[in-house]
Amino acid sequence: CRDSDGVLHAFGSRWRTEDCYDCSCNTDGINCCAGFGTPIGFNEEKCEKIFNKKTCTYKVVEKEDPSKECPFNKMVA
């Protein structure tokens, strides 16, 4: 399988992309899905979600003071 960057992957192989998607290659082609959850159910006027590509995780913080985390209801894929 050749990915969008032109890299060849062997059948049966798995990898994580730079954008935190988990991919696999089989005889049907490449299949990728998000390797992270997205927080929902937070105060969007007061807070914002920030994605960390190194850890492939979101953090929800106050817009006025990003050192303070905001509560959220759940994560969705």
Instruction: Return the pLDDT at 77.
Output: 81
Which helix or strand (DSSP H or E) is residue 57 part of?
strand 57-62
The whole-number pLDDT of residue 4 equals 87
CATH number for region 38-76 = 2.20.25.590
Q: Residue 41: what pLDDT?
A: 97
The residues near 38 (Cβ < 8 Å, ≥ 6 apart) are 49, 58, 75, 76, 77
pLDDT of residue 47: 98
> Could you give the CA distance from residue 72 to residue 22 in angstroms, rounded to a whole number?
25
**What does the block give as tokens for 12?**
């049966």
Q: What is the pTM of this model?
A: 0.76
Q: What's the length of the chain?
A: 77
Q: Along the chain (77 residues), what's the average pLDDT of each consecutive run of 10 residues?
A: 92 94 95 95 97 96 97 93
